[in-house]
Amino acid sequence: MKRPMNVWWIVLGIVMCVPAMGGYYATSFDTPDAADGWTVVAGTWVLNTQTGEYTCSGTGGKLVVYQGPLAYGIPREELNDYTVNADVTLNGGDTAVVARYTAPDRFYMFRFHAGDQQLQIYSFRGGATKLGDVLVDRAAEITQNQLPYTLSFTVAGNQLTGRLYLQGELWASISLSDATHPTGGFGLRGYAGTSAYGGVRLTSVSGPVYIYPYADGQLNVPQEPTLRWAQAETLAGEPVEVVAYYLYLSSGNPADANVALEATIEPAGGEASYSQLALPQDGTYYWQVEQAVDDGTGAASLPGDPNNLLGPVWRFDTIKSVPIIPVAGQPKDQFVRLGEMGEFVVAPLSQSDTWFQWYRSADDSSATPDDDEAIIGAQEALLRVESSLEHEGYYYCVVSNAGGDATSEAAALVALRRVAHWTLDQAGFSDGQYADETGAHPATPLGADPIFVEGMDGSPMGAVLFSPDDANSPALAGTWDPSEKTGQFTVSLWANWNGPTGGHQRLLAKADTWGDPTVRWFFGNSVANSPEVTLGSTRQNPGPVGTLTHDGQWQHLAATFDGSTAVLYVNGEPVATTGFSQSLGTDSTIVIGAGYPDSRLVFNGALDDIQVFNYALAPEEIVDLIWYPVTQEPACIHPLAAQFDYNQDCNVDLADFAEFAAQWMTTGYYPHRPGQTP
């Protein structure tokens, strides 16, 4: 398809620059009141009412922004999509237009940098970041002859477009994407010499709106698509008059997103469309619509006129000859309890028959074949894998058709399981370590001779005694993180507390010292000398709270965290729930019987049978896996028991209603108010 030269770089002839309909602000600085609403942020600006220029002089950047009222009562700080046109009538230095200004260091800036003969777009956010630049041919003609020109800066969504006009002719433009500043007002900036502005216009806040049928970034678009868009509107929701639409399209080369004029379309009501395209497969296309306004004679303003309304740049990909796997069709991570089945599904888009081959990988990559293994017989879109330690790893699929292959992303299979289990009995202590029943994380006491006492099940030498008077009693179990792959965990233990000691006590912790970088979580009290036990962190202190008893009896304590919520269990029953978040200490030490590896915050009492899981156990699992096998007693996990079980029998029934009804209409006021039931 033969295309004309890129419209951004050709001379279009002299046109009249008139404000677009739907304008929100315009000034020519030609009266003493013309500067009303403008605020000088930096430098010195002077209004010359004889020449109608707003001038700054000197060195460095001079910033002035408009803070005054806009049409329709729209707050300046809430402006989003709009175009600012600034007429520069004299230039001894560099000039710029500011958009989406919210603070002196938070805005976009489009600049004609005369010294480098460039158009440049910057983002200011605690400093200046150049987003892009483009060379301006014949820029020397402007600066040497002091020719008047217009800077036009359009912000439309994430699309930023800056254009330079000389007496109505489009000389150069720059377009790029950035999402740093979503809203804000407008202003001017001058640099290193005299900069004078003869007028500023804020035109329509919205260019033509893409409506149907392909979303921005759409894949697998037909080779003969119909592109549709709607008439531009102001922020007040009023349509902006349209005389013609100019449709721009790129060449289909993904490395070149520049769009060129493709067609001129006559408006038909509030919507328009274009369907005269015949595109090849495997193309990446960018398109844009410019809404032409009346040039003052009833005709459409020419393409590129600064008063036209420029829509954002949209993208689509035509049908691929090879399969494509969209984001929604990628396999997802599977977190599955041991023995259950994980299901990986790949959903490709293809214009011909497809074949599948699944692979298992040791790493989170489908691009490192040396450690990958083809799974025999795994040649369907669905792959089912039993959750086990043997099968843990990463899985991906290669999808093929007659045109070629496409490889999915790798997805993880994580077995939800017990990841540590220290029985803490003498029989499991050897070679100076407490054995981990899972075999992964043995714990080493700081002292060589732990004190074994009677365990929670009555077994002699079945538990370990910890004491603040014995700095060698805590044990260290490595720096692993039980929530590393899942973002969840459960800790469970039996405790026989010997009472307060005047300070903090920890039963179990993952921490090196206090502070966000060195703490992950702790299980113990958060208030010195308190019997309350909590799952806490530097970010959530305290978390859910239960109570330790000091009566010589064993208690079961457990805490679960599902990624957002923590639940505390005492003797198999949930007693407290709250929002929770871990701290940042993923590499901190697992400490048994104390708060830190240096023996601070040691627990005062005995601990037995500590278990850690890499997921949040459900209430039924707390009972089935831990509480009931030891006690042979049920636990009340009724979700309404704490609120409505008045007689504490774990049944919310008529007996509880009778208890509630007996208190019906009873006042809580004291003294009683007249007419109230005492």
CATH of segment(s) 327-416 = 2.60.40.10
* H-type alpha helices, 378-500: none
Where does the pLDDT of residue 29 fall: very low under 50, low under 70, confident under 90, or very high at 90 and above? confident
| Model confidence band, residue 4 (pLDDT cutoffs 50, 70, 90) | very low
Do the domains at 209-317 and 327-416 have one common CATH topology? yes
Q: Name the residue with higher pLDDT: 232 or 23.
A: 232
Q: Residues 639-668: what's their mean pLDDT?
A: 56
Can you tell me the mean pLDDT for 326-351?
94
Separation CA 662–CA 665 (nearest Å):
9
How do residues 620-629 score in pLDDT, each as one tens digit? Answer: 999 999 999 9
CA distances 20 to 164, 207, 291, 523, Å, are 17, 11, 10, 65
- The domain 209-317 is placed in CATH, from the list 1.10.3470, 2.30.30, 2.60.40, 3.30.530, at 2.60.40
607 within 8 A of 455, measured Cβ to Cβ: no
Looking at residue 170, what is its pLDDT? Answer: 81
Can you give the residue ranges of every domain in the chain? Answer: 24-203, 209-317, 327-416, 418-631, 644-678
CATH number among 2.60.120.200, 2.50.20.10, 3.30.470.20, 3.40.50.720, domain 418-631: 2.60.120.200
pLDDT value for 661: 61
Per-residue confidence band for 655, with pLDDT thresholds at 50, 70 and 90 = low
pLDDT at 236 over 70: no
Least trusted range by pLDDT, from 51-65, 460-474, 478-492: 51-65
Under 8 Å between Cβ of 555 and 622: no
Within 8 A by CB and 6+ apart from 515, the residues are 538
Q: What is the pLDDT of residue 651?
A: 65
More confident residue, 341 or 213: 341
Query: Which amino acid makes up residue 427?
Result: A
Q: Is-above-0.85 flag for pTM?
A: no
In this predicted structure, what is the pLDDT of residue 204? 62
CA distance linking residue 465 with residue 453, whole number of Å: 7
Quick one: pLDDT at residue 671?
A: 47
**pLDDT per position as a tens digit, 528-564:** 889 999 999 988 777 788 899 999 999 999 999 999 9
In SS3 terms, 142-155 reads as HHHHCCCEEEEEEE
CA distance 218 to 215: 5
Mean predicted confidence (pLDDT) in 236-253: 86
Top-level class of domain 24-203:
mainly beta
CA–CA distances in Å: residue 217 to residues 11, 282, 327: 32, 14, 12
Residue pair 44/54 in contact by the 8 Å Cβ criterion: no
Alpha carbon of 448 to those of 381, 441, 567, 614: distances in Å?
A: 56, 18, 35, 30
| Average pLDDT of the segment spanning 375-387 | 96
Reported as a pLDDT band with limits 50, 70 and 90, residue 654 is low
Quickly state the pLDDT bin for 240 (edges 50, 70, 90).
confident
209-212 β-sheet, strand order: 209-212, 227-230, 271-274
pLDDT at 20 over 80: no
The pLDDT of residue 54: 83
More confident residue, 10 or 129: 129
